[in-house]
Amino acid sequence: MELGIPELSLVVLVGASGSGKSTFAQRYFKPTEIISSDACRAMLTDDETDQSVSADAFDLVYTIAAKRLALGRLTVIDATNVQAEARKPLLALARHYHVWPVAIVLHTPERVCLERNLGRPNRDFGDFVVKRQIDNLRRSLRTLHDEGFRVVHSVTPEQVDSVEIVRQRAWSNRKVEHGPFDIIGDVHGCYPELERLLLELGYSINLTPGHNYGFTVTPPAGRRAVFVGDLVDRGPDSVGVLRLVMSMVETGAALCVPGNHDDKLARALAGRKVKQTHGLAETMQALAETDEAFRQAVRHFIEGMVSHLIFDDGKLVVAHAGMKQELQGRMSKRVREFALYGETTGETDEFGLPVRYPWAKEYRGEGLVVYGHTPIPQPEWLNNTVDIDTGCAFGGALTALRYPEREFVRVPAFAQYAIPKRPLEMNATQLSAQQAHDQVLDLSDFQGKLQISTSLISQINLREEQTSAALEVISRFAIEPQWLIYLPPTMSPSETSQLGSFLEHPAEALEYYRRAGVNEVVCEAKHMGSRAIVIICRDSEVARERFGVTGEQIGVCYTRTGRRFFSDPELETAFLQRLQQAISKLNWWESFDSGWFALDCELLPWSAKAHDLIQNQYAPVGAAATASMSAAQAALRQTVTRLPESVELQALIAHTQLRQQAVQGYVEAYQHYCWPVRSLDDLRLAPFHLLACEQRPLYDRDHEWHMQTLAALAEAEPRLLVATPYRLVDLHDQASVEQTIAWWQKLTAAGGEGIVIKPKQWVVQNSRGIVQPAIKCRGAEYLRIIYGPEYDLPENLERLRQRGLSGKRSLALREFALGLEALDRFVNREPLRRVHECVFGVLALESEPIDPRL
């Protein structure tokens, strides 16, 4: 005996105590799908028969059921449910979550129930209870349908053993169909434009009079059309459109969801009283000239359509007026209404039309929702939804969206067939719908615990105190989120060296990569300045179009925490213009086919940004240390004339001398990175990553490409740009490794900060996970400004060598993953909140207490 139930439904078992509900449920459903009132009683009082807590136990039943239904899980209620009163809250739940309520009634005779209860402990509540339950059940049988149960199954004891539960796919569920699709906007009777559009999409249309509504349409190989509804009214030939689409649906060349006009037409054809406005009268008139059989076919065609369709593992949703996430795949009157009309606020506008509630602004779903219903001049992306009704009947165009290509194909209307009651909304701000929406982000997307999925690391978890810290940092200091499309990851130093007086040495870093299975690394000189991300656009037009920033901005330069680098807007503009000119000189706008670039750079000198730090910390410590050490040395030298034989004094002098040299080295080290900045000419920008452009993120090119490409850029603007010296190292070639170490020594002896070692490819994964994207190896002198002037005195070094890198390295990987994800999302034109989430994540992770010297 087959019992069909929708795959997502609320199954209510109905039967007296002892009727075998629990046994039935356990036999035919997963244990986790069953919510039993007895089990809930037991959870509360350790006694599943304790009737005194029934109210609380049912609260628990409803709460669990609500959570499961919200998550889209089939749920079975195992309770007697013999009274309408008891079923009412369950029906309300089903309605609330837009799932079908299903009743399965167990007709077990009173005698059997009583026998079973006798055999169970603590069921001695008297025969009259079971008798009353069975009476109630009998009375219920007639009313279950009227109460709202969409499916009612009855099972007798004889049938129990032969039951087979058949879970039926929701009508909307076409997730196994992956396309490709051509989704076509509101046609509204515009037959000539539809024909043209189908031809442009590569469909061939053959006339087959008298057969299949007169058409046979063959789609291009593998493709299928999906109509978003509103096939009829307003346009010149609604009947022609119906014939064409019905023929396509008939042969499987197309699928169709109903629009509100189609729905109204079906009701009119069914003889219901509807106002024949907005073109319906004309459609009815045209249909009157066809035969009754066709009219009935139209009616059944429309009535048979499913409110919305879900394709491609849930990645694509098609509905006439859209479908919000919590209704997708659900079944109820409300779902159908939403699909037909969308949501309204209950108000009417100055044209007497209902004010639409902008559900798409709040949409956060994974599935791309393609819809029509609201005519607009251009198709508009917003939060992974797109409206493709471009008002063909009003003289606009008929638009198709090719999926998964996400390309639009557009046929302008041949004529204006109707006049809209409300003019098509023109975009006043010149920003796209998405950009206008993204002018302000919603805090709820970033507050509390966050989980971010990236392509490199599937889930990055952020704790509440981390996101709170990020909110503070971003709100206080960061530039407008529109510009903030990337933040660089932190970088780990090499493993601590045990060689000589080195704390860091390239040998360890090179060895790390060799062991990780990397063959080639790129070693880049590390500029000692401040990290700077530069976004540069061809002109302010591109800045507006692509980044949604208004005004005359052509780009931005910001720090690793998202802070604007320049406080003087004129200096920033002049700086950006130099970069812009260099890019123009190389024709990059054309050769990369991009109006913008994002660069990862070091901006020199260090003192330009670290001015306060130098003034308040580095310089004073240098002054105090120098004065202090020379006073000590003077006192000691004075003493040695008195006590020339003292061994202790000699040792003290020698030690003080070492300290004095260290202090001297420290002062030279920090001064090396400082020079006065009077104008733009004193600034140097050393770009080392060309992060992304319009066509794609560029981290798929190896680091050698980045070095070479950016060296060419530097050559085009030598006043501002500096090329980064680098070496390509074969880790299996000992000579190459040794030369690199010698190179590092030479660089750092000349005052260089050190080098950064990267695998040639940006992303390297081995069996243990992602390999560090870069490791820095700082010079011995430079480290004085990190670990203090005297860090390399043997007694200090020995202790400083005890440092752990695992926290830093784990952080570096997570931040790296977030950075690349941010670029991906931006290039893919995802909503700003999705990009912002990633940079927010980097700042949240940066609030981790990790030794800042690493």
- Region near another protein per CB under 8 A, out of 29-37, 347-355, 614-622, 680-688: 614-622
Instruction: Tell me which of 472, 593, 682, 738 binds another protein, using CB under 8 A.
Output: 472
User: Does the footprint of another protein cover residue 178 (CB under 8 A)?
Assistant: no
User: Does the footprint of another protein cover residue 92 (CB under 8 A)?
Assistant: no
User: Quick one: 160 or 652, whose CB is closer to another protein?
Assistant: 652
Give me the amino acid identity at 808: K
User: Does the footprint of another protein cover residue 471 (CB under 8 A)?
Assistant: yes
Instruction: Tell me which of 49, 83, 577, 639 binds another protein, using CB under 8 A.
Output: 639
Please say whether the beta carbons of 400 and 408 come within 8 A: yes
Question: What binding mask, one character per residue, do residues 478-517 give for another protein by CB under 8 A, x or -?
Answer: -xx-------------------------------------
Phi, psi of 489 (to 5 degrees): -80, 160
Q: Are strands 316-319 and 368-371 parallel, antiparallel or unpaired?
A: parallel
DSSP labels for 584-629?
Answer: HHTTHHHHTT-SEEEEEEEEE-HHHH-HHHIIIIIHHHHHHHHHHH
How many residues touch another protein (CB under 8 A)? 59
User: Quick one: 127 or 682, whose CB is closer to another protein?
Assistant: 682
Site for another protein in 547-566 (CB under 8 A): 564
- Region near another protein per CB under 8 A, out of 81-89, 92-100, 189-197, 631-639: 631-639
CA atoms of 410 and 397, how far apart (whole Å): 6
Residue of 354, 403, 8 whose CA lies nearest to 172: 8
- Closest separation in Å from C-beta 359 to another protein: 15
Instruction: Tell me which of 403, 547, 618, 699 binds another protein, using CB under 8 A.
Output: 618
User: Quick one: 442 or 738, whose CB is closer to another protein?
Assistant: 442
* 422 token code pair: 């409300």
Output the CA torsion sign for 523, 525, 529, 532. Answer: negative
Give me the amino acid identity at 466: Q
- Closest separation in Å from C-beta 608 to another protein: 16
Element containing residue 381 per DSSP (H, E): strand 380-382
User: Quick one: 4 or 569, whose CB is closer to another protein?
Assistant: 569
Instruction: Tell me which of 277, 475, 767, 806 binds another protein, using CB under 8 A.
Output: 475
Instruction: Tell me which of 796, 807, 829, 830 binds another protein, using CB under 8 A.
Output: 796
Please say whether the beta carbons of 314 and 367 come within 8 A: yes
DSSP 563: B
User: Quick one: 102 or 556, whose CB is closer to another protein?
Assistant: 556
Instruction: Tell me which of 111, 476, 678, 768 binds another protein, using CB under 8 A.
Output: 476
User: Quick one: 205 or 640, whose CB is closer to another protein?
Assistant: 640
User: Quick one: 208 or 616, whose CB is closer to another protein?
Assistant: 616
- What is the torsion angle, in degrees rounded to the nearest 10, for the CA atoms of residue 759, residue 765, residue 769 and residue 773? 30
377's CB contacts (< 8 A; 6+ apart) are 390, 391, 396, 424, 425, 426, 427
Site for another protein in 702-761 (CB under 8 A): none
DSSP 426: P
User: Quick one: 439 or 561, whose CB is closer to another protein?
Assistant: 439
Please say whether the beta carbons of 249 and 256 come within 8 A: yes
Instruction: Tell me which of 629, 774, 775, 839 binds another protein, using CB under 8 A.
Output: 629
User: Quick one: 118 or 624, whose CB is closer to another protein?
Assistant: 624
DSSP labels for 301-351?
Answer: HHHTS-SEEEEGGGTEEEESS---GGGTT--SHHHHHHHHH--EEEEE-TT
Instruction: Tell me which of 619, 711, 728, 764 binds another protein, using CB under 8 A.
Output: 619
Question: What binding mask, one character per residue, do residues 408-447 give for another protein by CB under 8 A, x or -?
Answer: -------------------------------xxxxxx-xx
- Closest separation in Å from C-beta 611 to another protein: 10
CA atoms of 839 and 818, how far apart (whole Å): 7
User: Quick one: 67 or 611, whose CB is closer to another protein?
Assistant: 611
Specify which residues 344 forms β-bridges with: 356
Instruction: Tell me which of 208, 451, 617, 695 binds another protein, using CB under 8 A.
Output: 617
* 294 token code pair: 């066709």
- Residue 561: is it exposed, middle or buried by C-beta count within 10 angstroms (0-12/13-18/19+)? middle
Site for another protein in 775-794 (CB under 8 A): 785-791
CA distance readout (Å), 306 to 171, 329, 335, 838: 6, 11, 10, 38
3-state secondary structure of 640: helix
Question: What binding mask, one character per residue, do residues 560-599 give for another protein by CB under 8 A, x or -?
Answer: ----x-----------------------------------
Specify which residues 692 forms β-bridges with: 598, 697
- Closest separation in Å from C-beta 557 to another protein: 14
Distance of CA 63 to the CA centre of its chain: 29
Phi, psi of 210 (to 5 degrees): 80, 0
Site for another protein in 641-670 (CB under 8 A): 642-643, 646, 648-649, 652, 655-656
User: Quick one: 199 or 624, whose CB is closer to another protein?
Assistant: 624
Binding site for another protein (CB under 8 A): 439-444, 446-447, 465, 468-469, 471-472, 474-477, 479-480, 564, 615-621, 623-625, 627-629, 631-632, 635-636, 638-639, 642-643, 646, 648-649, 652, 655-656, 785-791, 795-796, 799-800, 853
